[in-house]
Amino acid sequence: MKLQKELEVVISGMIELQKEIDFQYHIDEIKQTGEYKDLKTRVVWGLFHILCYSHLNLLPKGYTTYLYETYGANDSHIDTLLKKAIDTFNLKF
């Protein structure tokens, strides 16, 4: 995984975010709408947006750009990183 070195950073951010958002409840709410193509993708990118752009400042400012510039990452690499991180929470998708 290209962004392996960033996995703990994202997991730590998600741990802090989980104090504010019940991830399983969030997943279940999205499931009920049926408005998704890939549930896990929808959930992790939504959470990533909150991690990067909310007032909570759970990931460093400019984190997405940092990943692109430092690692030559693209959205697929970030997607893999986010899914590896969310898998550590033992959620039901």
pLDDT at 88: 98
**What's the N-to-C CA distance of the chain in angstroms?**
22
Domain parsing of the chain, residue ranges = 4-87
CB 93 within 8 A of CB 43: yes
CB 16 within 8 A of CB 56: yes
CA distance 74 to 30: 26
Widest Cα–Cα separation across the chain: 38
CA distance 74 to 64: 9
pLDDT tens per residue across all 93 residues of the chain: 999 999 999 999 999 999 999 999 999 999 999 999 999 999 999 999 999 999 998 999 999 999 999 999 999 999 999 999 999 999 999
